[in-house]
Structure 1
Amino acid sequence: MTDAPQTRRAGFSLAAGDIQTAVAWIASEARALGATERQSFGAQLCAEELLVNAMNHGGRERLAVAIALDRLPDRLRLRLEDDGAAFDLLDAPERRSDPSLSQSRPGGWGVSLVRRFADRIECNRFEGANVVVLEFIEGGEP
C-alpha cells in the first residue's frame, strides 16, 4: 500500500429501498482501495445504519447523499453527507437492553453499532447537511 491518500467519491439520491446500492458501492471501493476486511465491514455496517436512520427519521422520501472514502496509511475514512433532518450521532442516547426476551423490541441498535465499530466519529451540521466522518483504523478493535 502507498502512503499517499487515495479518495473515492459518489453521490446518490436514495429512497428506502436504494440504501444497499450505496452500501455496495462502499464495499467495492473499499476493496479497490485496499482496505482490510474489518475496515470494509465496519464502513458498510455503519453507513447502512446511518442511512437507514436518516431515511426513517430524516423527514424525506428521497435523501441526497454524498459519500467519500479516503484510504490513508493506517485507516479508512468514511464521510457521509445527507440532506435529512439535523442529527448528531454523538448526542444520541444509547439504547438500553430490554429487561427480558419476552419484552424485547426490534431496532434501535444503530447508534450503538456505529459507536462500537468506528474508531473515530465526528459529526457536524454544515450548510443544511448532516456530515458524519468515521474512521476505521487498521488493526483496531472490532
Structure 2
Amino acid sequence: MVNEAWIELKNNLSELERLSLALEEFGYSHHLPLKTIMDVNLALDEIFTNIVSYGFEDHDEHLISIYLLIKGKELNIRVEDDGTPFNPLEVPEPDLNAPLEERKTGGLGIHFVRKMMEELKYERQQGKNVLLLKKKLN
C-alpha cells in the first residue's frame, strides 16, 4: 500500500471540502485513528484558510500543494505555496489569560495547530513557503 498522497488545491476557499474529503479518504484507507484524522483536518483547514485569505497579493490562481507521508509511527505533512513569505511560527503565542476584550486579533489558529501537532517547521525554498508538520500515530 502506498503510504503517501499528494493533494493540489487552488487558492480558493471552495477547495476546503475537497481537502477534507482527501484527508478522510487517506486516513481511512491507512486505518488512522479518527482523532488523528480530525486533528490533521482541523490543522490543515486553518493553514489552508490562512494561505488563501492572506498569502497572495494578487487575485490570480495559485496552487497550494499538500503532501502526506506515513513514515513509521508518524504522519509527515508538507504544505507548499508560492505566496508572500510568511513564517507562521513567528506569530506570538496568544495570551489566553487576558480578558476577551483585551486579546489581540489573530494567532489563535496557529496556536491550535501547534497544540495538535508534535512538530512544526517553516522554510522558504525556491520562492515558496514550506510548512512541515509531524503528527504521531498511536
Whether TM-score is above 0.5 comes out as yes
Hey, what's the Cα distance between the residues in 1 that align with 2:64 and 2:95?
29
Q: Which residue does 1:96 correspond to in 2?
A: 95
User: For residues 71-91 of structure 1, what are the alpha-carbon distances to aligned partners after superposition, in whole Å with 9 as ceiling and x for unaligned?
Assistant: 122111111111221111221
Structure 1: 5+ residue runs without aligned partners? none
Whole-angstrom CA distance in 2 between matches of 1:94 and 1:56:
20
SS of alignment partner, residue 45 of structure 1: helix
1:13 maps to 10
Name 1:24's counterpart in structure 2. 21
Which one is further off, 49-58 or 19-28?
Answer: 19-28
Q: CA deviation at 1:17?
A: 2.6
Aligned-residue CA RMSD (Å): 2.3
Pairwise CA distance, 1:45? 1.0
The corresponding residue for 2:86 is 87
- Which structure 2 segments of 5+ residues have no match? none
What residue in structure 1 maps to residue 128 of structure 2? Answer: 129
**Residues 92 and 8 (structure 1 numbering): CA distance in 2 closer, same or farther, change over 3 Å?**
same
User: Aligned runs of 1:1-142 on 2, under 5 Å?
Assistant: 6-59=3-56, 60-61=58-59, 62-97=61-96, 99-101=98-100, 108-139=107-138
How far the C-alpha of 1:107 sits from its partner, in A, is: 5.4
- Kindly indicate whether the alpha-carbon contact (under 8 Å) linking 1:54 and 1:85 is maintained by their aligned counterparts in 2: no
The percentage of counterpart residues that share the same residue type is: 20
Distance across 2 between alignment mates of 1:40 and 1:131? 21
- For 2:55, give the aligned amino acid: G
Counterpart-to-counterpart distance in 2, 1:103 and 1:93: 15
What TM-score comes out, normalization by structure 2 length?
A: 0.83
Count of aligned pairs = 136
Q: 1:103 to 1:91 in 2, by over 3 A?
A: closer
Q: Is the 8 A contact 1:98 1:105 kept in 2?
A: no
> What is the identity, as a one-letter code, of the residue corresponding to 2:109?
G
